[in-house]
Amino acid sequence: MSKDLRYFFEISYLGTGYNGWQTQPNGKGIQQVVEDALSKLFRRKVAIVGSGRTDTGVHCAQQFFHTDLSENFKTQDLIHQLNSFLPRDISIQSIRPVQPEASARYDAIERTYVYRITLKKNPLLLGRALHVYKPLDLQKMQEAANLLLGEKDFECFSKIKTDVNHFICRIQKAHWKKKQDDLYFTITANRFLRGMVRAVVGTLLDVGTGKITVKDFGQIIRDKKRSKAGMNVAPEGLYLESVKYRKGIFLRK
């Protein structure tokens, strides 16, 4: 048997039928489904480490996980075989060898999320976008979003029970875009806190509906209290769009 090599697997999924990424004792997580498929394929227990955790119902266009494999395989054959084992709402997009100590979680340098809102009732977007029927002031929502940029303490947007050592994140992009009857909020940062994006969007919607002002939004960040921020919006509109790593981590394409 060959020496173990570490690989990054690129994965996408529709999160509607799952209890998020992480394996759950009383529910179905994406991680568990993928580990079961890999274990059946290789006829041994295979554990994986994801680039991060997504909540119940959150979708993913691009995420990565790593695992160590000693078996010889052709990449495209393994992708095809693994996808045939996985349900239709989960797909492996690529497999790439990486440096032996590379971590899909800790070596990620940038993550991007997109939150989708539909302003018109659309049954084709059921479970894939949040329907908002109230009028929204997009200009004020963008003014408030601009206050997120930079390196700041975002404890106000974090779940109260969390195991992080600090709440500092560096946000590089926070932008609203309207396309016909849909709104898209794109946010990019070096890291995100648990429940952060959904809390940010919920609070920005409070700005858009006039419940709070742009000035209030800035004060909420400075106060660092979750109780002063808005409610978490539904997970159905949230997509993990991309995860980036430094180029040197990959051994070859």
Q: Which residues belong to the active site?
A: 55
In angstroms, rounded to a whole number, what is the distance separating the alpha carbons of residues 233 and 14?
Answer: 18
By CB atoms closer than 10 A (0-12, 13-18, 19+), residue 180 is exposed
DSSP codes, 146-202: HTT-EEEE-GGGS-SS---S--EEEEEEEEEEEETTEEEEEEEES---TTHHHHHHH
Tell me which H or E stretch contains 85.
helix 75-85
* Residue type for position 19: N
